[in-house]
Amino acid sequence: MSKKGQVKKAVLAYSGGLDTSIILKWLVEEYGCEVVAYCADLGQGEELDHVPEKAKKTGASSCHIVDLKEEFARDFVFPMFRANAIYEGRYFLGTSIARPLISKAQMEIAAKEGADAVSHGATGKGNDQVRFEISYYHFDPAIKVIAPWREWDMKSRTALEAYAKKHGIEVPTSKKFPWSSDRNLLHISFEGDILENPWAEAPEEMYVLTVRPEDAPDQPEFVDIEFEKGDAVAVNGERLSPAKLMAKLNELGGKHGIGRVDLMENRYVGMKSRGVYETPGGTILEEAHRAVESITMDREVMHLRDSLVPRYAAMIYNGYWFAPERLALQALIDNTQQTVNGKARIKLYKGHCRVVGRDSATDSLFNVDFATFEADEVYNQADAEGFIKLNALRLRIAAIQRSAKK
């Protein structure tokens, strides 16, 4: 145990559930180190009240509960939505964007606590281990990272439950769903079990944040969302903090069954994986944001930005939120949002939302008042001939060259 013996104090990302409870105990047993439990509140909607007692009972020297909801919405979700970032055309990156913040707060506690190690409950086949650890190393390149799933030899649920029983860890008796999930203010994800059959439809009982579209109201509902510099600031005229705004949109989207996505995605570690997601508020937010951009953003700016979004989304998906290339792209993205001020009206109905109106009092590039100019000074139809002729010139020259060749 020489290597393991080197750790004095570890901060563990702890949820109070079975897996991280076992990890907590395992760290104490295997590393013989002090373990500080840490639980981030990102709006997962679970009861966190008894987590500290549970942690201490399982062997933690202390337990930190940190409310990160506003920071999450403001500094992570919103900057990402300024780019309309979607991974592989469908996934709103709800888990990916949470991991860097969880890691950041964990490293802050590690620094405060003088811990020399951090630990997490992500498995060795997934993306989350990468996202956690790349972020850890960004904050402290010398931190010791303990990833129990890659280390221990417990490979089955039975083995885990045996370990729990042996160490007096309470195993929940309530029937747990056979798939795994991750929830926060932006989304809930599901993977595993029946989803491993790519042809099988996800079962209705899986869904948590959204009603079945068939059960949604029979009347459409309209929602107006206001943006300032690319960030949503008000819903139906009411200004809301970022986290409250997300909660409001989740409520609206959930009620109308909006934001369900069923995806086969490419993990960073190299395999494909089926995921099902509910992102009710985020789906509405993206539709509204694009709509306000559509009336306020320059064409070439939009096309340039859009061509970079697949790369930006992959950076977030892969765990590079704190990397300098993400920051460089963010500088571009934020620059493009200075004029994104205005509002959009979104229609919500039976699992779908779509924009029906958009406007900007200050930055509309549409239909601006040409009154002070002669119509012909702003747009003279005759100009189109020259525009077309010169744009076609290289094609005409090529055609001449082709015909000369024959």
The two three-digit tokens of residue 355, written as one number: 């924009």
Instruction: List, in order, residues 6 or more apart from 114 with CB less than 8 Å away.
Output: 9
Please report how close the Cβ of residue 11 comes to a copy of itself at its closest, in angstroms: 18
223 phi/psi in degrees, rounded to 5? -130, 135
**Annotated binding-site residue numbers for L-aspartate:** 123, 127-128
Options 65, 154, 234, 302; binder of a copy of itself; rule CB under 8 A: 302
Options 50, 90, 176, 239; binder of a copy of itself; rule CB under 8 A: 90
| Number of residues in contact with a copy of itself under rule CB under 8 A | 125
Active-site position among 61, 62, 180, 273: 180
Q: Quick check: helix, strand or coil at residue 89?
A: coil
* 215 touching a copy of itself, by CB under 8 A: no
Residues of this chain, 29-58, that bind a copy of itself according to CB under 8 A: none
Options 50, 112, 150, 165; binder of a copy of itself; rule CB under 8 A: 150
Nearer Cβ to a copy of itself (49/377): 377
Options 33, 260, 281, 285; binder of a copy of itself; rule CB under 8 A: 260
Report d(CA 393, CA 373) in Å as an integer: 31
Active-site position among 82, 99, 183, 305: 99
Question: Is 180 considered catalytic here?
Answer: yes
Please report how close the Cβ of residue 168 comes to a copy of itself at its closest, in angstroms: 28
Report d(CA 156, CA 305) in Å as an integer: 45
**Annotated binding-site residue numbers for L-citrulline:** 91, 96, 127, 131, 180, 189, 265, 277
User: Quick one: DSSP state of residue 172?
Assistant: P
Q: Where are the alpha helices (DSSP H) in 297-354?
A: 299-318, 324-336
* 406 touching a copy of itself, by CB under 8 A: no
Report d(CA 277, CA 86) in Å as an integer: 13
Instruction: List, in order, residues 6 or more apart from 152 with CB less than 8 Å away.
Output: 26, 30
**x/- string (CB under 8 A) for a copy of itself, residues 169-198?**
---------------------------x-x
Residues of this chain, 343-362, that bind a copy of itself according to CB under 8 A: 345, 347, 349-352, 354-359, 362
Q: Quick check: helix, strand or coil at residue 31?
A: helix
* 158 touching a copy of itself, by CB under 8 A: no
The two three-digit tokens of residue 190, written as one number: 């599901």
Helix 51-58 vs helix 18-31: crossing angle, to nearest 10: 30
Report d(CA 402, CA 406) in Å as an integer: 7
* 229 touching a copy of itself, by CB under 8 A: no
Residue with tokens 């930005």: 305
Options 8, 167, 244, 290; binder of a copy of itself; rule CB under 8 A: 290
Residues of this chain, 373-392, that bind a copy of itself according to CB under 8 A: 373, 377-392
Catalytic residues: 19, 99, 128, 180
